[in-house]
């Protein structure tokens, strides 16, 4: 929208009171009625007027501590075109982030520039917190020996943790059906964790590794649901418990062997007839 149509027509009777006697459009009215920090400056970044919320911004510009904003004022004064920039402001209330719209008065050359700010501190803090949280998750997943994953609605892997598992790389598993990992010789659990419709915890499944050897995974997962409650997939984590299960089997075999030997020895001790022994 042209600057003139945005701000209104030039007064035929001279300057408006809101512009402090300066010829041009009623930028002063816009500044005073703005619900967030706003101020009016001249072409050399001298503050003409500021609303109450804009006092901290005006003080920073007066101190020439916001060099980027001052350069932007000079640019808008030269080109006569509106612009947008961001300012990092340090106040007694803490750090604030402002998105500032620069609106020239439409004169040639430009006499005044209005700075209309929008406080995006909360949005910026939230974004930073989300980025930090995401980085924390990535670091923990990257350090973990567990195998994290997510399944799409078509039951193929959409995400696999960087270390992957079973000898496969993450890239090789992404896009592959999860069922392709399952070993056909072992019975499937009642609820397959890769296709869980409800949260499941520590479900054991047997899978084939990249070298075709067997591995036992302990899987916990939760479903991914849409706004309408429809099933969109599942995500979870797998822990390789193959060595533990092999130790369990070996221990059970040793116990069975000891029990058999004990029964044989007891039978020999209790039998008097050597031929029956």
Confidence of residue 21 (pLDDT cuts 50, 70, 90): very low
Q: What is the pTM of this model?
A: 0.47
Rounded Cα distance, 197 and 31, in Å? 56
Within-domain flag for 277: no
Rounded Cα distance, 40 and 96, in Å? 20
Q: What is the pLDDT of residue 108?
A: 84
Within-domain flag for 271: no
Mean pLDDT of the region 91-111: 87
Q: What angle do CA 134, 139, 145 make, to 5 degrees?
A: 130
Indicate if 97 and 196 belong to the same structural domain. no
Within-domain flag for 35: yes
For 227-232, which contacts have Cβ atoms below 8 Å and span 24 or more sequence positions? Answer: 231/153, 231/197, 232/152, 232/153
**The total number of structural domains that make up the chain:** 2
Indicate if 21 and 115 belong to the same structural domain. yes
What CATH number corresponds to the domain at position 25? Answer: 3.30.450.20
Mean pLDDT of the region 116-140: 76
Helix, strand or coil for residue 92? Answer: coil
pLDDT digits (tens, 9 = 90+) for 234-248: 999 888 888 777 777
Indicate if 117 and 7 belong to the same structural domain. yes
Within-domain flag for 74: yes
Within-domain flag for 13: yes
Residue 118 corresponds to which tokens in the numbers above? 């929008």
Within-domain flag for 150: yes
Rounded Cα distance, 223 and 236, in Å? 9
Helix, strand or coil for residue 175? Answer: coil
Indicate if 7 and 94 belong to the same structural domain. yes
Indicate if 113 and 159 belong to the same structural domain. no
Q: What is the pLDDT of residue 225?
A: 92
Within-domain flag for 119: yes
Indicate if 9 and 121 belong to the same structural domain. yes
Indicate if 93 and 185 belong to the same structural domain. no
Indicate if 81 and 25 belong to the same structural domain. yes
Q: Which of these, 244, 145, 239, lies nearest to 193 by C-alpha position?
A: 239
Within-domain flag for 199: yes
Q: What is the pLDDT of residue 277?
A: 65
pLDDT digits (tens, 9 = 90+) for 186-228: 888 888 999 989 999 989 999 998 888 888 899 999 999 998 9
Indicate if 162 and 234 belong to the same structural domain. yes
Indicate if 11 and 117 belong to the same structural domain. yes
Residue 61's domain comprises 3-125
Say yes or no to pLDDT of 137 above 80.
Answer: no
Q: What is the pLDDT of residue 79?
A: 92
Indicate if 99 and 169 belong to the same structural domain. no
Indicate if 11 and 102 belong to the same structural domain. yes
Q: Which of these, 30, 36, 41, lies nearest to 53 by C-alpha position?
A: 36
């Amino acid at each position: 929208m042209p600057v003139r149509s945005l701000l209104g027509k030039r007064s035929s009777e001279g300057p408006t009171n809101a512009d402090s006697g300066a010829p041009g459009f009623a930028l002063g009215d816009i500044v005073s009625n703005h619900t967030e920090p706003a101020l009016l400056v001249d072409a050399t970044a001298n503050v003409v007027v500021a609303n109450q919320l804009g006092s901290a911004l005006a003080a920073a510009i007066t101190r020439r501590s916001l060099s980027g904003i001052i350069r932007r004022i000079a640019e808008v004064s030269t080109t006569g075109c509106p612009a947008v920039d961001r300012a990092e402001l340090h106040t007694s209330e803490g750090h604030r982030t402002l998105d500032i719209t620069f609106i020239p008065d439409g004169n040639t050359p430009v006499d005044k520039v209005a700075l209309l700010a929008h406080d995006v501190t909360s949005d910026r803090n939230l974004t930073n917190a989300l980025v930090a949280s995401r980085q924390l998750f990535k670091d923990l997943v990257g350090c973990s020996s567990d195998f994290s994953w997510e399944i799409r609605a078509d039951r193929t892997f959409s995400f696999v943790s960087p270390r992957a598992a079973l000898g496969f790389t993450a890239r090789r598993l992404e896009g592959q059906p999860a069922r392709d990992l399952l070993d056909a010789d072992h019975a499937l659990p009642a609820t397959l964790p890769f296709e869980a419709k409800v949260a499941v915890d520590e479900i054991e499944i047997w899978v084939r590794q990249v070298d075709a050897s067997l591995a036992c995974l302990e899987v916990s997962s939760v479903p991914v649901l849409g706004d309408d409650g429809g099933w969109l997939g599942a995500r979870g984590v797998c822990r390789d418990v193959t060595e533990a299960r092999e130790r369990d089997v070996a221990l059970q075999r040793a116990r069975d062997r000891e029990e058999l030997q004990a029964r044989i020895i007891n039978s020999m001790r209790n039998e008097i007839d050597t031929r029956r022994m």
